[in-house]
Amino acid sequence: MAAPAPPGLGHSFYEQLMVQRRVIGALLMREMLTRYGRRNIGFLWLFAEPMMVTVVIAALWTARGLHQMSDIPIVAFVIIGYSGIQLWRNMSRRCIDAIEPNRALLRHRPVKMLDIYLARMLLEVAGTTTSFALLCVLFLIFSNQISPPEDILKVVFAWSLFAWFAMGMSLTLGALSELTTLVTKFWPPLIYILYPLSGAMFLVDALPHGFKEIVLYIPLVHANEMLRDGFFGSHFVAHYDLSYLVSWCLGLSITGLGLSYLTVEHRLS
């Protein structure tokens, strides 16, 4: 029996909301089965894969003795940096050219292009967030290489902004890829340029004065700095502007939604 529409809302609007929720849920299940299947550990690869990559990077950094260069826990530093990288990198890759393999689904009236993007983005957020949280808990319990976050609320808020930024950027890139093939050609190399500039591998406070001002124009740097400030802010001086990061998140979201609308108009024309 369907739940009654909340008071003050039109019955048709509430029904459409419930339909879209079921559509996104079905697309999420379809995406998991298509990507991971039912054999071996199945959908557990959703967070097992990013966990393994992050652990390997942390082991390499520790083996090179980088943990002796600062009193900042190197394992926590790597988990934060590479979890963030995997969030925006994997999400953007999944959204670019996401419509073509799912074109047949658009014949069903309830399914919209935005639903396909949302399903893929939410799946990446769920997988990377689970990986990030599990790694923090496991290293906290079984080793002394990571300490509890100094401000857990700031960590949660910063990670939420990180996810919001990644979703806005991925939605924009996904819609652009339907309008031009240049996105498919230029975004992969740009990812490798953003790796060292995203703030995942350095602290802004350790940079030379002139370069410090330049990297702070990159919104990903603000997200990384805020996330680290929540974990071990007493060990370094964090440099981030919350209003600047939120402005980028909001701007990318609006741009992505606008481009998605243009893409639909382009397909109908």
Rounded to an integer, what distance in angstroms lies between the CA atom of residue 33 and that of residue 115? 17
**What is the average pLDDT score of the chain?**
83
| Boundaries of domain holding 156 | 15-268
Domain membership of residue 215 (yes or no) is yes
Rounded to an integer, what distance in angstroms lies between the CA atom of residue 60 and that of residue 187? 27
Domain membership of residue 229 (yes or no) is yes
What is the tally of structural domains in the chain?
1
Q: Which pLDDT belongs to residue 66?
A: 55
Domain membership of residue 109 (yes or no) is yes
Q: Which of 138, 157, 148, 141 is nearest to 240 (CA)?
A: 157
Highest mean pLDDT among 14-18, 190-194, 260-264: 190-194
DSSP symbols for 21-44: HHHHHHHHHHHHHHHH-SSTTGGG
Rounded to an integer, what distance in angstroms lies between the CA atom of residue 111 and that of residue 127? 23
User: Does the pLDDT of residue 46 top 70, yes or no?
Assistant: no
Domain membership of residue 25 (yes or no) is yes
Domain membership of residue 226 (yes or no) is yes
What amino acid is encoded at 49 in this protein?
E
Domain membership of residue 1 (yes or no) is no
Domain membership of residue 2 (yes or no) is no
Render pLDDT for 207-254 as a digit per residue (tens, 0 to 9).
888 899 999 999 999 999 999 999 988 888 999 999 999 999 999 999
**What's the pLDDT band for 9 if we cut at 50, 70, 90?**
very low
Render pLDDT for 92-107 as a digit per residue (tens, 0 to 9).
999 998 888 888 887 8
Domain membership of residue 4 (yes or no) is no
